[in-house]
Amino acid sequence: MENDYIKNIAFEQLIYNPNTGIFTWSVSRRGVRAGNVAGTKEKTGYRKIMLDRRFYGSHRLAWLFIYGEWPNGIIDHIDGDPSNNVATNLRISNTSLNAANKKTPVTNTSGFKGVSLVKSTGKWYAYIKVNGKTKSLGFYDDPKIAHNSYTNAARQYFGEHARSK
């Protein structure tokens, strides 16, 4: 019931452009004019839109506008950019597949996703997380070879969701 209520409010107050992924207000309301871009960008890159005093992820609202129903699961941004809510950039995912599609963290010191240096041995450790569990892919002398091991495993486990960078 609550989802139907918010769905009605969203369709009354917002306009979604599936080609740009941008929401605009269709009506003027407190502090905003019709035609203004809706929502605010979070530090994480996601955009949030307030409807009836509650915030909603614009990627989830985009799914609602595209398919007419609330998403059942996690919405994954295919290109890894959480602010890109273009219709063709969104897909339903799960926690593991969504994590597989994340970019290499800025804290990564090896420069390669799924690879870290074991200082005590000087070897490069390749690993992958699948369903919350870390799987060892071996130790290598060269970080590029370790990364190849990760890339192959990512394709095997995650298919089109695999991101190697």
Report pLDDT for 164: 65
Q: Rg of the Cα trace of the chain? A: 20
Kindly list the structural domains of the chain, giving each domain's residue range(s) and its CATH number in brackets, ordered by start.
2-93 (3.90.75.20), 96-161 (3.30.730.10)
Convert the pLDDT of each residue in 91-136 to its tens digit.
Answer: 998 888 887 788 777 788 888 989 999 999 999 999 998 888 999 9
pTM (2 d.p.): 0.77
Which tokens in the block code for residue 60? 């989830």
